[in-house]
Amino acid sequence: MVSIIASFMENMVIKQSLIKSLGSGLRGLDPDFIGSVDIPVTRVPNGSRIRYISAIAMKLAAINSQSPAEIATLIVANQADKIVDDGIITTVLPSGMIQFDITDFGVVKWLENIRLHGLPITANSPDNQSLDSGLFPVQYIHARCCSLLRMAHRDRLISLVETEPIFTPFLWRLATPRDLPWLDDSGNLRLVHDAEKMLIGELIDGVDFWHYLPRKIDDKKVAMKITEQCDRFLRQCPIWGEVKLHHPQLSQARLGLIIVTQSILRFALQEKLGIIAPMEL
C-alpha cells in the first residue's frame, strides 16, 4: 500500500518531476564526469510565480574543468524534450543556475490533478477523533472550506455530487461545472491576487514536503503555514457579492482552490497528524 501511495504522489510532486528530468539530463553526460551527486532543487518563494532553481551545474563544476553555465546548458539540452509539454519553462542563468518557471497551464494541471484525485489516505478514520487545541486552526480552516463548498452548492455557484455526507469526504466532487474555469479567455490563470498565489505556493510546498525525507520541519508547521495562507485567502478574495454577480467564473475558480486546499488539509490532519478532519464545528 505504501509503495502504491508513493508512486501515486510522484505524479503530483513538482519537485520530484524536476529532479527526474534533471536526472535524465545528467544521464546524457559522461558517467565519469558526473560522479556521484545529489540533485538539488529548491522552490523560490517570490510570490509572483511558481519558480524552482537547481545548482546542480555548480556542484559539478566544482569537480570538473567546465564552467557552471556550460554544464547547465548541456544538462538542459539533454532533458529539454522530457518536460516541454508539462507547462515548465527552463532557463539557464549566466551563473549556471538552472531555473524552472511553472506556467499557468502547469499550475492548472497541478490543481486539477489534486482536485480530481486528491491525496491518498491510508486510513479511513484516525485514532484521535477529538479537536486538538494545538491544531484547532487547521481543523477550523478545513471545516470552513467544507462549509463554503456546501454554501456554494446551495447558491448554485457549483453543484456537488454529494452535499450532506455522513463523514468528511475524501474529496468534494463536482457535478457541475465539469471543467473549472481556471484560465481566462486569453489562457491566463484567473487566480492572480497575491493571497491566491501565496496559497497555491504553500500547497505546492506542502505536497513537495510530504514526499521527501529527511524533513527539516515538522508536519504541524507545514499544515499551519497552509492554514495561515488559506485564512488570508478567504479574507481577501471574496466569492460572493460583486464577484459572484459580475465575475462568476472567478468565483468558481476560487471554489476550486478551496477544494484543493480542503483535500490537502484533510491529508495533513488525518494522514500525517493522526487527528480528525472535521466537516463542521
142-153 in b/e burial notation, b at 16+ Cβ within 10 A? bbbbbebbbebb
Backbone phi, then psi, for 33, in 5-degree steps? -75, -35
The domain locations on the chain are 2-102, 127-272
Backbone phi, then psi, for 199, in 5-degree steps? -65, -45
Q: Pick from 245, 25, 246, 269: which is nearest to 140 by CA?
A: 269
Residue 79 cell numbers, joined: 532533458
Q: What pLDDT score does 13 carry?
A: 87
Q: What pLDDT score does 102 carry?
A: 93
In the chain, which residue ranges form alpha helices assigned H by DSSP?
2-10, 14-26, 31-34, 56-61, 68-83, 104-117, 136-154, 194-209, 219-236, 242-246, 248-266
Q: Which residues contact 269 (CB under 8 A, 6 or more apart)?
A: 126, 135, 138, 139, 142, 223, 275, 276, 277
Q: What is each CA distance from 105 to 14, 108, 187, 202, in whole angstroms? A: 13, 5, 8, 18
Q: What pLDDT score does 79 carry?
A: 76
Q: What pLDDT score does 127 carry?
A: 53
Q: Which fold has domain 2-102?
A: Gyrase A; domain 2 (3.30.1360)
Residue found by looking up cell 456546501 in the block: 150
Q: What CATH number was assigned to the domain covering residues 127-272?
A: 1.10.730.10
Contact (Cβ atoms closer than 8 angstroms) between residue 138 and residue 272: no
Residue 193 cell numbers, joined: 491576487
- pLDDT means over runs of 10, the chain (281 residues): 38 84 78 69 85 93 86 85 68 95 93 91 62 86 96 96 80 92 96 96 94 74 96 98 96 98 94 90 84
Domains 2-102 and 127-272 share a fold: no
Q: What pLDDT score does 61 carry?
A: 86
Q: What pLDDT score does 31 carry?
A: 66
Q: What pLDDT score does 47 carry?
A: 66
